[in-house]
Every structure is written in C-alpha cells, then in structure tokens.
Structure 1
Amino acid sequence: MSDRFPMIRALATGAMMAATLAFAAQAQETGTPDDARLLHPGMLTVGTSDPVYPPWMMNDSPESGEGFESALIYALADQMGFAHDQVQWVRLTFEQIIAPGDKPFDFAINQVSVTPARAEVVGFSQVYYQSDKAVIALPGSPVIGASSFADLRAARWGAAIGTTDLAYLENVMGATDVAVYDDQVGVFQAMQAGQIDATVAAVPTALFATAVQLPEASIVAILPPDANDEGHGLLFPQGSALIPWVDAALTHLIEAGTVQELVNTWLVADPTLPIIAE
C-alpha cells in the first residue's frame, strides 16, 4: 500500500532524529573520571610545551597549579570531577602540539590561538583568553618611537616557527624582513646578537620576557589583535568526543567568573603602554 503522507512521515522522522541527536549531544556534556572517551580513563592527560613560562605557568612546573593556564586546568579538572593527582601532563614542542594527527593527550593548553587554518586539522574549545600583541625591543632599536605599521615594517623582525606571532608579522603588519627561529629563546638570542630589531608576543608573555628573560628589553608598543586570531583555546585531536564535555565545564568557569579571576591574578597588563592601531 502506498504511503499517503510521505512529507509528514519525513518530518516526524527528522524531528525524532533531531531530538535523539540533541539528547546524545547533551549526554556528552557530562562525564566521570573513568569515561571511555579519555585517552587514559581515570586520568585527565593534558599537553603543554617544554619549557613553560610565567605568567602562564610558574617555575616551569605545570603541576604546581600556579600561573594562569596551570590554575585554569586544575579548576577545569575539578569542575569535571578529577582530583589534583588525576591530572597528568605531557610535554611537547609547540609544533607537535598544533600538528594534525593523533595526540598523546586529551587536550593541550599552551597559549594556542584559535585560527581558521588550525581549525581545519585540530579541534578547539571555546576561547578562554584573548590578548593584544606587544612589540619587544632593545634600547636603540629602530622600532622605538614608531607610530604606524609603516614605521614598523622597515625593521628586521624575528618570531618562532608556527606561532601566531610569526603570522601576525607577515600577514597583519606586512613585514618583509622576518627571520624564523625554533623557539622564543632563539628569537631573544637573535635580538641580543643584533640580528633582529624586534619581535612581537602576547602582552602577558611580553611582560614576563621583559621582566625576566630579557630585562634589558622593553615593550615599546601595543598592537591590535589579529582578526583571524580569535584568542586562546584548548586544543584537541580533530573530532575529539571530549570537546562537548570540556567545553561545558569551561563555560561554567567562565560564567561563574573563575576565568576572569585568574586573568586578574596572573595576566595584568600596563594600561600606559603606547598603542599603534595600524
């Protein structure tokens, strides 16, 4: 016998499927420490770089719970039901963290900026922090006193490979003389050797760098964020089933004001720094 109501049946079936998917998605927003979605059930495995720096993490110790990102992870773990000793850290290079493919962690935290290009090969949580860029230079650098991107483009720049700092220099500022280094330490060494005139970094990173790593340098200007850089997010293997659960816990921390409290504690910028709009 022919079906007299194919559209009604299709709509009803579609509604049922949508309801089922919505229920499944909601169910995925909760979990327990023995959840099968975890890389190692019973543990929350978190990736970060080696070394790590203040104010993101203190004393090169992610396990300390001190520093903005370390404290955020332990607040997040607590929200998800994990005890402090159920968080284990995996140390990798930044390039290993952002590369496509399988990962030795559930997710990573390392000031990883959410960008469209990266989102094609890895998964992200919602953004937990967004920072302006800071120009770092030594005394006598030609960037000191610059008032426009045109002034800045005339200088010799350096940045670490694979970072949004490098992308900012090339794609936002339009700098043409940019040297690429393996890591931020290499960038600072090049600056001390007179091989480059300046670099850029997120404001909290720049504040630490000019206070501890390269105290003879200073922040000479603040630059606006890259429109393609939505801010820092937790990085997952692409398609990770953990994203809804972690995102729900992160949403709670944001709405409860916990993340802002951590920003106020660890990521304090100097409001008197000069600003170059473009």
Structure 2
Amino acid sequence: MTRSSTPVRSLTAIGTALTLTLGLAACSSQDTLTVCTSIPYEPFQFKDSWQDNKVVGFDVDIMDLVAKELDLKQEIVDIGFEQIDSGQALEEGTCDVAAAALTITPPREEVMSFSDPYYDAKQALGAKPGSKIKTLKDMKGKVLGVQRDSTGFAYADENQDKYEYDLKTYNDLGKLREAVLYDQVDAAINDVPLWTSKVTDDQRKLEIIEKYDTGEEYGYAVAKDNDELLSTINEVLAKSRKNGDFEEIYQKWIGED
C-alpha cells in the first residue's frame, strides 16, 4: 500500500461503511486492488497451464473476496519474494496487499502490518519416493535444499550444526522442487501444503518424509500505516468463515483437515 494520501478511486458508491482513505498504490487501472505475490507457490498462487497460465490458488480466491468487498478487481503483481519479505513492495507502493503464503514473524511485523492469521503452517521434509532419507538425522553429510528468505530456510539453518548437512538455496519453490526431482539435493524443506499439493497433483511425486510443528501462521500484509485496508481484510476473513466461503476455498485448494 502506498503512503500517498490520494486514493485510487472514490469509494462512496460502495456505501459509507466502506468509504476508506486507502491511498491505494498507483497502478495501471483505478479500479484495481494490486496484490503482490511470488509465483509459483502452489496451492496458494501458481499459473494454471489448463487456463492459459492464469494465476490461480487459495490466496488468489481470498483476495478476490477482498477486492469484491471494495468494489474493485484484483490485479496480481508477480515479483521476487525478497521484495515482499523485506516490506519493500508495500513501502514503495508496488502493491496494496502482499498475499504470498507469508508467515507472520517479528522481523516482518517491523516493516509491514499483518491480518489475522488464516492458515497454520508446519514445515516438512520432502524427498523422492524410495529415498533412504527418513528423518533429518539421515541428512548428515548430504545436501538439503531450501527456498531463500523462507521460514523453511530459517528452520534448516537453525538445525544445520545439529544434523551436519550442507544447505543449498533456491529462489522459488519450482526450482527447489526440480532440484529434488533431479538429484541436485538429497531432500528439501518447505511448508506442508506446498509439498502436499505436489504429492497429490503431479505424476512426478515427492514424499513428505517428516513434519515439524514450528507454530507458524500465514497472514496477508499491508503497509504499516494502512489500518483501513487491514480492517477490511480481517472483516472479509471473518465473514468468509461464517458464510462458508473460506471452507469452500480451503477444500478446493488445500483439502487437508
């Protein structure tokens, strides 16, 4: 969300309850809510080859609900995850909302404001079927893949001395997954639903070897001073849980209990 005091559009047509001085980021259309993400991060946001590479996923559907509440259309901005993680994209007005399966952490809370949590995310160790790796203890002297700037990286880095593996970092989930498939690494750590989606939807399956409850929660983020938009996001999350929209979207893209 930009720090500008000039709103993208007049919201009076929405009704006084939604007349917000949002200061929405300057973008190609005055009728859009710009949402920054980093693709691919299936099942939260990715390009669907069956729909002409349209960006789809859990976060996309939830942000559509937010945009609808504001009588706007969602415009997705695909950028490097480091620009989201640092708060740069929100600070500079590249987007109004960051929706990228973003774990709420104290360092991130210093540079952006988070919505209420919407997903409890555990970490998981993934490997090829038939792998001899059964636990992190088996990774001694081997190469563990992680995604740069992710909480999976933080977990792997914290335990590296204990289990004596080498770390190899990748910029996105797609490259990380390919590294496991083509034996560039022996195993990899990332969020559970990201492995689960691949396990169920891709013929080149990977197995979840081990899960780690790190107490992580995902949230949507806005610029530090954008309380109005943050309040709307929280209202939409609460409303969608009540009317069943959240459950429908959850089962559509994630499906686990």
TM-score, normalising length: structure 2: 0.75
Q: How does 1:61-210 map to 2 (within 5 A)?
A: 66-78=56-68, 80-83=69-72, 86-101=73-88, 102=91, 103-143=93-133, 145-146=134-135, 149-151=136-138, 155-171=142-158, 175=163, 176-210=165-199
Kindly state the Cα deviation for residue 238 of structure 1 after the two structures are TM-superposed.
2.6
In structure 1, C-alpha distance between the alignment counterparts of 2:61 and 2:238, rounded to whole Å: 16
Which consecutive unaligned segments of at least 5 residues does structure 2 have?
1-15
Note the aligned Cα RMSD (angstroms): 3.1
Aligned residues: 232
Q: Percent identity?
A: 23
Distance 1:100 1:70, change over 3 A: closer
Give secondary structure in 1 for the equivalent of 2:116: strand
In structure 2, C-alpha distance between the alignment counterparts of 1:63 and 1:89, rounded to whole Å: 13
8 Å Cα contact 2:36-2:95 kept in structure 1: yes
Distance 1:161 1:52, change over 3 A: closer
Counterpart for residue 221 of structure 1: 209
2:239 aligned with 1:239:
no
Higher fraction of strand: 2
8 Å Cα contact 1:47-1:90 kept in structure 2: yes
2:245 aligned with 1:255:
no
Kindly state the Cα deviation for residue 92 of structure 1 after the two structures are TM-superposed.
0.7
8 Å Cα contact 2:126-2:210 kept in structure 1: no
TM-score, normalising length: structure 1: 0.70
Distance 1:254 1:212, change over 3 A: closer
Kindly state the Cα deviation for residue 177 of structure 1 after the two structures are TM-superposed.
2.1
Kindly state the Cα deviation for residue 104 of structure 1 after the two structures are TM-superposed.
0.7
8 Å Cα contact 2:41-2:194 kept in structure 1: no
Q: Encode CA deviations 1:47-83: one digit per residue, 9 max, x unaligned.
A: 11244544644517799684322111112222x2325
